[in-house]
Structure 1
Amino acid sequence: MYGWIWRKLPGATTTARVVAASVLAAVTAAVLWYAAFPLLEPAVPLDEVTVRK
């Protein structure tokens, strides 16, 4: 899969592809952080911690 992404990235030089891959990773992280994780938060109650002895 990563090879396919690397071949599809624009740019003739390795530097351009590294920059494009970094931007792609940053955009993916931002979408997950600001869109996906807030939607999933009600289903994963991380604030409710139960300690059993």
Structure 2
Amino acid sequence: MLKLRMEEAMNRLRRSEATVARIGEELGFSSSSQFHRAFLKMTGMTPQAFRMQ
């Protein structure tokens, strides 16, 4: 389930201008820091770094 949420997060980070915190909230994370940690663990980079690449 977490893998699916991270795939959706990556899609949204690529195509949406929503904030990282907003994307994490929409995907069911209880805080932006929880989303940040999970994203970093799964991808090896922060959501913001992923968006900027």
Question: Which interval holds the TM-score relative to the shorter structure?
Answer: 0.3 to 0.5
Give the TM-score normalised by structure 1.
Answer: 0.32
Larger Rg: 1
